[in-house]
Amino acid sequence: MFPNRQGFDRNRYIELQSQHIDERRKAIGGKLYLEMGGKLFDDFHASRVLPGFTPDNKIAMLETLKDELEIVVAINAKDLERKKVRADLGIPYEEDALRLIDSYRERGFLVEHVVLTQMEDDNKPATEFRHRLQRLGLKVSRHRLIKGYPTNTDLIVSEDGFGKNEWAETTRDLVVVTAPGPGSGKLATCLSQIYHDRKRGIPAGYAKFETFPIWNLPLDHPVNLAYEAATADLDDVNLIDPHHLKAYGEQVVNYNRDVEVFPLLAILLERVAGSSPYKSPTDMGVNMAGKAIVDDEVCREAGRQEVIRRYYKTLVEEASKELDSHMSDSIALIMTKLGITTANRAVVKPALDLAAETDAPAAAIQLNDGRIVTGKTSDLLGCSAAALLNALKLLANIDPTVTLLAASSITPIQTLKTAHLGSRNPRLHTDEVLIALSVSADSDPNARAALDQLQNLRGCEVHTTTILGSVDEGIFRNLGCLVTSEPQFAAKSLYRKR
């Protein structure tokens, strides 16, 4: 690992990316619909594999073009019916859509339109959400499911295809189409809008802003392989773009879905817009992230670590939902390509060693300066809570033997849990420890000093030897820690609270 070393120049990226988008707009002419792949806001994956890339990097870049663009949010109506949840935040897609709109507007972006894609008449959750959006003052366009999309171009580019979709009347020449997650219908939204614009005499074109895979990094670069690991559930595979190689004799990286659909997309663009300026799916992209990497080895190591984290995350999901090992096997193959194992994650061995020594769940935290602290299970604390306290002590230079939590702050919490809330476990979880620490900080300088170090846990690595409960996982997520767990449950009980 490379504690505190940056591999990516945020400011250079903002400058290069905004310039390149402006160049593409001039080349296209007229209105440009820019499909935003990945997350426009809160891009935590990019910030993990490109140290120096901040989660708001894309939105900060678009702020340089703010007065010239508007944002359209696309949501797949079927995802609302399936009650799909954004995994990294644990909230439903409809709530995330509202959260994102609020965030965009707080930064001064124009956001008036939401498009509900693949929406059928019998989709009650989507209909209710549509009414909710309209009550909130948003303009909602409904797009139908088109049979044979994307292969039946004659039907798609007709009054019985895109023609049945409702048009979102945008007012600016740069329209960014984004979504809460993948598979939301952003591409179809862009093409449908171009179809309707051109019917009204408005010239319009399309480009794609997809951060990963990074086209000008090698196929086997850990940052690109980390993208494969992140999309294992979609069976995405990185490959050399054969269309680009044929057209230009240059090897660049894209992924299988874009490569496979490009011939059809080129036909659709030609039918919808009158012509297609692109000879390859890579041509369509405007991503400049690869040109803002300033320390390749730092980014390589960050990519390797992300693959391991994805592997553990998938193992836990498979164990929790009793799934087969298809996804974890795919990521294990990526790890083999990279020549890494779980032993390359520094916090794994200390946690496992302590668990073996104590015959109880254990946790380890690696601080941003590389130091590692552990936490064991005791009568008072769960291992995650113990590791959290030990990390705060170390950061605040407090003697490890010092007791931070006053008995007066602990006892009422334990009594509340066991006597009134039906819990048989008096141990404090991470949220309860932080509450007790806050109470103690009022009278104890050490507790106050420890509490002041919470901000320095952001970016720290955490590993636990058993699957975390939702409360502990949420606390670590809110603190900005990168958590993995062994796919083992702490208790042998048949019933578990999810």
256 and 377 both lie in a single domain: no
Whether the predicted pLDDT of 51 surpasses 60:
yes
Residue whose pair of structure tokens reads 């044929």 in the numeric block:
246
- Band (pLDDT 50/70/90 cuts) for residue 257 is confident
| Average pLDDT score over residue span 291-297 | 97
| Beta strands 362-366 and 461-464, pairing class | antiparallel
Residue whose pair of structure tokens reads 């405007």 in the numeric block:
286
Domain membership of residue 301 (yes or no) is: no
Contact 217, 179 (CB under 8 A): no
283 and 364 both lie in a single domain: no
**How far is the C-alpha of 294 from the C-alpha of 354, rounded, in Å?**
38
Contact 236, 254 (CB under 8 A): no
| Average pLDDT score over residue span 24-31 | 90
Residue whose pair of structure tokens reads 């302590």 in the numeric block:
354
Domain membership of residue 332 (yes or no) is: no
395 and 283 both lie in a single domain: no
Contacts for 11 with CB less than 8 Å, ≥ 6 apart: none
144 and 215 both lie in a single domain: yes
68 and 186 both lie in a single domain: yes
Output the domain CATH number for residue 439. Answer: 3.40.140.40
Which amino acid does the sequence have at 96?
D
35 and 107 both lie in a single domain: yes
Domain membership of residue 466 (yes or no) is: yes
**How far is the C-alpha of 335 from the C-alpha of 222, rounded, in Å?**
10
CA distances in angstroms from 201 to 157, 204, 444, listed in the order given: 16, 9, 71
Whether the predicted pLDDT of 410 surpasses 90:
no
477 and 409 both lie in a single domain: yes
How is residue 135 written in tokens? 């009550």
Contacts for 161 with CB less than 8 Å, ≥ 6 apart: 146, 149, 152, 155
Output the domain CATH number for residue 159. Answer: 3.10.630.10
277 and 362 both lie in a single domain: no
- Nearest in space to 82 (alpha carbons), one of 91, 92, 97: 92
Whether the predicted pLDDT of 420 surpasses 80:
no
Whether the predicted pLDDT of 174 surpasses 60:
yes
The C-alpha angle with vertex 306 and arms to 301 and 307, in degrees rounded to 5, equals 100
Contact 202, 175 (CB under 8 A): no
CB atoms within 10 A of CB 344: 16
| Average pLDDT score over residue span 52-70 | 92
CB atoms within 10 A of CB 131: 11
Which of 292, 313, 331 terminates a domain? The answer is 292
First-residue to last-residue Cα distance in the chain: 33
With H, G, I as helix, E, B as strand and everything else as coil, classify residue 455.
helix
97 and 25 both lie in a single domain: yes
400 strand-pairing partners? none
- State the greatest distance between any 2 C-alpha atoms of the chain, in Å, as a whole number: 75
Quote the crossing angle between the two packed helices 296-321 and 222-230, to the nearest 10°: 20
388 and 464 both lie in a single domain: yes
| Average pLDDT score over residue span 158-185 | 94
Residue 494 has a pLDDT of 41
Which of 35-49, 192-206, 441-455 has the weakest average pLDDT?
35-49
What is the count of structural domains for the chain?
A: 2
Domain membership of residue 121 (yes or no) is: yes
**How far is the C-alpha of 381 from the C-alpha of 437, rounded, in Å?**
13
Whether the predicted pLDDT of 251 surpasses 80:
yes
Which of 269, 292, 315 terminates a domain? The answer is 292
Note the pTM of the prediction, 2 decimals: 0.88
Q: Please give the sequence-ordered ranges of beta strands (E in DSSP) within 126-173, or none if there are none.
A: 139-142
- Band (pLDDT 50/70/90 cuts) for residue 497 is very low
353 and 440 both lie in a single domain: yes
Residue 276 has a pLDDT of 86
Residue 498 has a pLDDT of 38
E strand or H helix at 100: helix 93-106
Domain membership of residue 95 (yes or no) is: yes
Domain membership of residue 317 (yes or no) is: no
| Average pLDDT score over residue span 365-391 | 95
Whether the predicted pLDDT of 495 surpasses 60:
no
Full residue range of the structural domain in which residue 369 is found = 346-498
Residue 388 has a pLDDT of 97
> What percentage of residues in the chain have a pLDDT greater than 70?
96
Instruction: Indicate the length of the chain as a whole number.
Output: 498
Three-state secondary structure of 199-259:
HCCCCEEEEEECCCCCCCCCCCCHHHHHHHHHCHHHCCCEEECHHHHHHHCCCCEEEHHHH
CA distances in angstroms from 430 to 63, 155, 485, listed in the order given: 37, 56, 16
Which of 292, 319, 335 terminates a domain? The answer is 292
CA distances in angstroms from 485 to 30, 155, 344, 351, 427, listed in the order given: 50, 49, 15, 10, 20
How is residue 28 written in tokens? 């296209």
381 and 467 both lie in a single domain: yes
Domain membership of residue 334 (yes or no) is: no
Per-residue pLDDT tens for 94-131?
A: 999 999 999 999 999 999 999 999 999 999 999 999 99
Domain membership of residue 117 (yes or no) is: yes
Of 141 and 272, the structure prediction assigns the larger pLDDT to 141
How is residue 112 written in tokens? 């008036």
| Average pLDDT score over residue span 203-212 | 92
Highest mean pLDDT among 53-67, 250-264, 308-322: 308-322
- Band (pLDDT 50/70/90 cuts) for residue 234 is confident
| Average pLDDT score over residue span 43-71 | 93
> What percentage of residues in the chain have a pLDDT greater than 90?
75
